[in-house]
C-alpha cells in the first residue's frame, strides 16, 4: 500500500531555504575539537554567543513553573508571605526573637525574601544538570548556561514579592535611607554565592546522587545560622566574625540595612562574606569547567 | 578550500565503569578510596576500552558521507564527539560552519508547553537564532500539519503529531554541516519517505552531511562516500557501493565472487565441476553493488570433464526476504547436444530495471534437463550475493517517489494512456 504517493503537507519552499542557508553561511566559524584539558578556559565569548539560549532557558522555566495553576505567579508572593507570617507568630509574638529596632513582621519578611531567593536559586541551579539529562546527552551548548539560568529565574519571583515588601514598609513607616542604592549589591552577593555553590554541587550531582539529598537538610539549618528569623547583632563579636564566613549572613544583614534602614553591618564582616562568596564562585567555575567534558558520559 | 570537516586521529577511551550504570554513590567512592588506601594501590589501573581508535577523515563542503558499521563499532561515539557532546581522548577535529544534529528529533521538547512554545524552545536548542525560527515559523507549522493544535500543550498530542512537529523543526534548521543519526528508522512509512526526501534535499542544497545509518539502501541512495567503522577503527573508506558491498560480504559471509582454486574441493561430480561464480556489471567487472538501471550479469565458470550429457548452467535468485525471484537456465540450442569436455564461462544477463532494490542471493548450478526432472551435477546454495540500489534520479521505475517500494521485482513498464 505504500507504493501510492501519500498526499502529505507540502514541502517547505526550497528557494526560501536556500536563501536562509546562504545567509547563515556568512556567519560560519571554525570549531576545533580536541581532548579535554585539566585547565579549561572560561570562554566568556562563547557564553555570550549563547545568550539567546540562556534567555530561552529562563523563559521556559518561568513558563513551566506555574502551568496548570489557578493563581500562577501569585504563588511567588504567597510563599514568602506565609513563611514570614509563621515567623511573626512563632518567633515574633511567642518567642520574642530580637529584631533590632525594627517591627518584627517587616524584619522577618525582608529576611525571608532574600533567603528564599538564595534557597530557590541553589535548589534549581544545583539540580539543573540532572533536570536536563536529555539536553546534556544530546545537544552541545556551554553547560554553564543551565546553573546560570537556575540562579537568574528566581530573580523574577523576588521582583514580584518586592511589591509586598514595599507595602509593608509603607504600613510600618520603615522607609530606607540612601543606602537603598546598595540593595542590588546584596542580591548580587546572594546570586554569586548560590551560583558558586551550585556549580560545585551540580557537577558533583552528576556523579554522586547523594548531593540532592544533602542539600535540603543543610538548607533547613542555614536560615538560623544566617540570621533570617532573628537579628545576630546581639551575638558576641568573635562569633559574628565566624558567622560572617557564611556569605548569607552578609546578604541578610546587608539587605535589611539597605531596604529597611536597619543597623549598618560591620564593613570587615561584609568583606569576609564577599570574599568567601567570590572564592566559592572561582572554585565553582573551575571545578565545573573541568568536569564538563565528562558530564555526558557519567550523567 | 579547506575541508568542511577534518578529523585527525580521533580516539575515545571509556572506563568500563562509565559504560555500566553511569553513577555510583558517594559512599561507594569513599569505601573504594579507603580500600585503595589500605591496600596501598593509589592508582589502581582502571579497566578501559577504546570506543574509537585513530579515526581520520575529511569531508569537503557539500559532500554527503555515510557512516556504517555493526552495533558498538563507535558510530554514535564519533557523532557525539563531532557534535561536542563528549570530548575525544586523543586527536583533533576542525569543523567549518555551524553544526546541526538530528541525533534525536524533539530534544528538549517540554510536555507542558504548547506546540508554538516548543517550536521556539526546540529551535533554539538545535542552534537556530530567534530570527530564523520566526522567519520559518509558518513553514514549520505547515510542514508538520498540526496548525489546529499549535496552542495546545504537546503532552496532549498524539505521538504522531509530536514526531511530525519535532521533525518539522529540525527539517527547517539550515546549518552548514548536518549530522544525522538513524532518523529514518522512526515514524511511519509516510514519515520515513519524507525524511528521506528531506535528506536528499539537504544533500542537494550543497550542505555537508554525515549520515549514520543501518539502512544500507538509504546510504546507497544518499551518500557519495562511506566509512565503515568496526571495533572503533575505520575498516574501509571509499565510494559507497564498494564499502557497502565489502560490509555485506563481511557481515553476511557471501560476496560477489566465489572461486574454487582447487578442483578437488570444487562442487561437482565426474561429469561437471564448478570453477567460479561472479556477479559482474556490464563491463565485466566483479561488483557487489549495482545500479538498478544497469544490467546485472551472473557469470558461472565450469568445467565439463567427460562427454555424454548436455550440461546447462542455471541460476536461482532470491530477494532480501528470501522470496525466489526466478530460476533461469540457458535455453539456447547449443545445450541440446551432449556438451564436449572443456572449460566454459556462461553469463546470464538480468535486464536493467527488473530487480527491486536490496540484497539478492544467488544459487548457482550446472544441471541436465531430464523432464520432468532437473539432474544437478554441481550446485551451490548462496554462492554469491549483490545489492541493487537506486540513486533515485527520477529515471528508474520509482520515478520521483522516495519511499518504500515493495515487490519481488520492479519492472519499468510501458504505460499507455488515452483520454476518453
A207-226 pLDDT tens trace = 888 888 999 999 999 998 88
**Candidate from A36, A56, A208 with C-beta closest to B23:** A208
Q: What is the C-alpha to C-alpha distance for residues B4 and B177, in angstroms, rounded to an integer?
A: 8
- The pLDDT value recorded for residue A28 is 59
Most confident of A68-82, A241-255, B182-196: A241-255
Q: What is the C-alpha to C-alpha distance for residues A240 and A235, in angstroms, rounded to an integer?
A: 6
- The pLDDT value recorded for residue A149 is 96
Band (pLDDT 50/70/90 cuts) for residue A159 is very high
- With a cut of 70, say whether residue B90 has pLDDT above it: yes
Most confident of A30-39, A153-162, B398-407: A153-162
Give the residue with greater pLDDT, A169 vs B33.
A169
Band (pLDDT 50/70/90 cuts) for residue B191 is low
Beta-bridge partner residues of B378:
B366
B223-236 pLDDT tens trace = 889 999 999 999 99
Q: What is the C-alpha to C-alpha distance for residues A86 and A38, in angstroms, rounded to an integer?
A: 49
Answer yes or no: do A208 and B124 touch at CB < 8 A: no
Most confident of A199-203, B397-401, B405-409: A199-203
Band (pLDDT 50/70/90 cuts) for residue A1 is very low
Give the residue with greater pLDDT, A152 vs B47.
A152
Separation in Å, CA of B187 to nearest CA in chain A: 14
Please tell me what DSSP assigns to residue B149. Answer: G
Band (pLDDT 50/70/90 cuts) for residue B367 is very high
- The pLDDT value recorded for residue B297 is 95
Give the residue with greater pLDDT, A6 vs A288.
A288
- With a cut of 50, say whether residue B22 has pLDDT above it: no
**pLDDT (mean) for A110-136:** 93
In three state form, how does the secondary structure of B72-101 look?
CCCHHHHHHHHCCCCCCCEEEEEEECCEEE
Most confident of A179-193, B127-141, B372-386: A179-193
In DSSP notation, B356-387 reads PSEEEEEEEEEEEEETTEEEEEEEEEEEEEEE
Question: Rounded to 5 degrees, what angle do the CA atoms A272, A276, A280 make?
Answer: 170
Query: What mean pLDDT value characterizes chain B?
Result: 85
Band (pLDDT 50/70/90 cuts) for residue B279 is very high
- With a cut of 80, say whether residue B280 has pLDDT above it: yes
A29 contacts in chain B (CB < 8 Å): 96-97
Q: What is the C-alpha to C-alpha distance for residues A127 and A136, in angstroms, rounded to an integer?
A: 13
Q: Is A230 helix (H, G, I), strand (E, B) or coil?
A: coil
**pLDDT (mean) for A268-278:** 94
Separation in Å, CA of A83 to nearest CA in chain B: 29
Residue pair B291/B340 in contact by the 8 Å Cβ criterion: no
- The pLDDT value recorded for residue A10 is 36
B102-151 pLDDT tens trace = 766 778 889 889 999 999 999 998 888 889 899 999 999 988 888 899 99
Give the residue with greater pLDDT, A261 vs A197.
A197
- With a cut of 90, say whether residue B252 has pLDDT above it: no
B18 contacts in chain A (CB < 8 Å): 297-298
In a 13 Å sphere around the CA of A139, the CA atoms on its Cβ side amount to 26
- Chain-centroid distance, C-alpha A238: 30
Residue pair A66/A157 in contact by the 8 Å Cβ criterion: no
Contacts 24+ apart (CB under 8 A), A105-108: A105/A168, A105/A172, A106/A165, A106/A168, A106/A169, A106/A171, A106/A172, A106/A174, A106/A260, A107/A231, A107/A256, A107/A260, A107/A262, A108/A84, A108/A228, A108/A229
CATH architecture of the domain with range B5-250: 3-Layer(aba) Sandwich (3.40)
Query: What mean pLDDT value characterizes chain A?
Result: 85
- The pLDDT value recorded for residue A19 is 41
**Candidate from B10, B108, B120 with C-beta closest to A134:** B108
Give the residue extent of every domain in chain B. Answer: 5-250, 257-389
Q: What is the C-alpha to C-alpha distance for residues A64 and A50, in angstroms, rounded to an integer?
A: 21
Q: Does A33 touch chain B (CB under 8 A)?
A: yes
Band (pLDDT 50/70/90 cuts) for residue B166 is confident
- With a cut of 80, say whether residue A249 has pLDDT above it: yes
**pLDDT (mean) for B379-400:** 87
A46 contacts in chain B (CB < 8 Å): none
Question: Rounded to 5 degrees, what angle do the CA atoms A121, A124, A126 make?
Answer: 95
- The pLDDT value recorded for residue B273 is 93
**pLDDT (mean) for B285-308:** 92
**Candidate from A68, A134, A298 with C-beta closest to B107:** A134
- With a cut of 70, say whether residue B24 has pLDDT above it: no
Separation in Å, CA of A31 to nearest CA in chain B: 5
Separation in Å, CA of A86 to nearest CA in chain B: 33
**CATH dotted code for B257-389:** 2.70.50.60
Q: Which of A21-30, A139-148, A161-170, A184-193 has the lowest mean pLDDT?
A: A21-30
Amino acid at each position: 500500500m505504500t507504493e501510492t504517493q501519500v498526499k502529505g503537507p507540502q514541502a517547505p519552499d526550497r528557494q526560501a531555504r536556500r536563501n536562509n542557508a546562504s545567509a547563515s553561511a556568512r556567519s560560519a566559524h571554525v570549531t576545533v575539537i580536541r581532548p579535554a584539558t585539566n585547565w579549561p578556559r572560561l570562554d566568556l565569548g562563547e557564553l555570550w554567543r549563547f545568550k539567546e539560549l540562556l534567555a530561552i532557558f529562563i523563559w521556559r522555566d518561568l513558563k513551566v513553573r506555574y502551568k496548570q495553576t489557578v493563581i500562577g505567579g501569585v504563588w511567588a508572593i504567597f510563599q514568602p508571605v506565609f513563611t514570614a507570617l509563621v515567623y511573626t507568630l512563632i518567633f515574633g509574638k511567642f518567642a520574642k526573637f530580637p529584631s533590632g529596632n525594627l517591627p518584627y513582621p517587616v524584619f522577618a519578611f525582608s529576611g525571608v525574601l532574600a533567603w528564599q531567593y538564595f534557597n530557590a536559586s541553589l535548589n534549581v541551579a544545583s539540580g539543573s544538570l540532572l533536570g536536563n539529562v536529555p539536553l546534556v546527552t544530546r545537544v552541545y551548548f556551554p553547560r554553564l548556561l543551565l546553573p546560570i539560568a537556575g540562579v537568574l529565574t528566581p530573580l523574577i519571583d523576588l521582583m514580584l514579592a518586592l511589591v509586598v515588601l514595599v507595602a509593608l514598609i509603607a504600613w510600618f513607616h520603615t522607609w530606607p535611607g540612601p543606602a537603598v542604592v546598595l540593595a542590588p549589591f546584596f542580591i548580587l552577593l546572594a546570586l554569586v554565592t548560590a551560583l558558586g555553590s551550585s556549580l560545585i554541587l551540580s557537577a558533583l550531582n552528576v556523579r554522586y546522587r547523594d548531593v540532592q539529598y544533602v542539600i535540603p537538610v543543610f538548607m533547613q539549618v542555614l536560615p538560623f545560622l544566617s540570621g533570617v528569623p532573628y537579628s545576630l547583632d546581639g551575638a558576641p563579636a568573635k562569633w559574628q566574625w565566624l558567622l560572617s564566613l557564611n556569605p548569607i549572613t552578609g546578604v541578610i544583614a546587608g539587605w535589611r540595612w539597605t531596604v529597611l534602614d536597619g543597623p549598618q553591618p560591620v564593613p570587615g564582616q561584609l568583606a569576609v562574606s564577599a570574599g568567601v562568596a567570590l572564592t566559592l564562585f572561582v572554585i565553582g567555575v573551575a571545578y565545573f569547567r573541568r568536569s564538563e567534558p565528562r558530564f555526558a558520559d557519567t550523567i | 578550500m579547506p575541508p568542511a570537516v577534518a578529523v585527525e586521529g580521533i580516539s575515545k577511551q571509556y572506563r568500563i565503569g562509565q559504560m555500566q550504570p553511569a553513577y555510583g554513590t558517594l559512599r561507594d567512592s569513599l569505601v573504594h578510596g579507603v580500600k585503595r588506601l589500605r591496600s596501598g594501590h593509589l592508582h589502581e589501573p582502571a579497566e578501559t576500552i577504546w570506543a574509537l581508535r585513530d579515526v581520520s577523515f575529511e569531508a569537503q563542503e557539500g559532500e554527503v558521507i555515510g557512516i556504517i558499521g555493526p552495533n558498538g563499532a563507535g558510530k554514535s561515539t564519533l557523532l557525539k564527539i563531532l557534535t561536542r557532546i563528549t570530548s575525544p581522548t586523543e586527536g583533533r577535529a576542525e569543523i567549518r560552519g555551524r553544526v546541526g544534529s538530528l541525533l534525536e528529533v524533539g530534544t528538549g521538547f517540554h510536555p507542558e508547553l504548547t506546540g508554538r512554545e516548543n517550536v521556539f524552545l526546540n529551535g533554539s536548542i538545535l542552534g537556530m537564532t530567534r530570527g530564523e525560527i520566526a522567519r520559518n515559523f509558518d513553514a514549520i507549522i505547515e510542514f508538520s500539519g498540526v496548525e489546529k493544535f499549535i496552542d495546545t500543550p504537546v503532552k496532549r498530542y498524539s505521538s504522531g503529531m509530536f514526531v511530525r512537529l519535532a521533525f518539522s523543526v529540525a527539517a527547517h534548521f539550515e546549518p552548514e554541516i548536518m549530522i544525522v543519526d538513524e532518523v529514518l528508522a522512526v515514524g511511519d512509512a509516510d514519515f520515513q519517505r519524507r525524511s528521506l526526501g528531506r535528506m536528499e534535499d539537504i544533500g542537494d542544497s550543497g550542505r555537508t552531511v554525515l549520515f549514520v545509518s543501518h539502512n544500507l539502501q538509504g546510504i546507497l541512495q544518499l551518500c557519495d562516500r562511506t566509512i565503515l567503522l568496526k571495533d572503533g577503527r575505520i575498516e574501509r573508506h571509499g565510494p559507497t557501493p564498494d564499502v557497502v558491498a565489502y560490509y555485506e560480504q563481511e557481515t553476511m559471509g557471501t560476496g560477489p565472487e566465489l572461486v574454487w582454486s582447487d578442483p578437488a574441493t570444487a562442487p561437482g561430480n565426474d561429469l561437471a565441476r564448478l570453477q567460479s561464480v561472479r556477479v559482474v556489471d556490464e563491463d565485466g567487472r566483479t561488483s557487489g553493488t549495482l545500479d538498478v538501471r544497469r544490467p546485472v550479469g551472473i557469470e558461472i565458470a565450469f568445467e565439463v570433464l567427460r562427454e555424454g550429457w548436455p550440461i546447462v548452467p542455471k541460476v536461482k535468485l532470491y530477494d532480501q526476504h528470501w522470496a525466489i525471484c526466478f530460476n533461469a537456465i540457458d535455453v539456447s540450442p547449443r545445450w541440446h547436444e551432449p556438451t564436449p569436455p572443456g572449460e566454459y564461462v556462461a553469463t546470464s544477463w538480468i535486464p536493467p530495471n527488473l530487480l527491486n532494490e536490496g540484497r539478492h542471493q544467488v544459487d548457482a548450478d550446472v544441471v541436465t534437463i531430464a523432464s520432468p526432472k532437473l539432474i544437478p551435477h554441481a550446485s551451490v546454495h548462496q554462492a554469491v550475493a549483490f545489492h541493487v540500489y537506486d540513486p533515485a534520479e527520477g529515471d528508474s521505475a520509482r520515478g520521483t517517489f522516495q519511499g518504500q517500494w515493495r515487490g519481488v521485482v520492479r519492472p519499468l513498464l510501458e504505460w499507455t494512456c488515452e483520454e476518453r
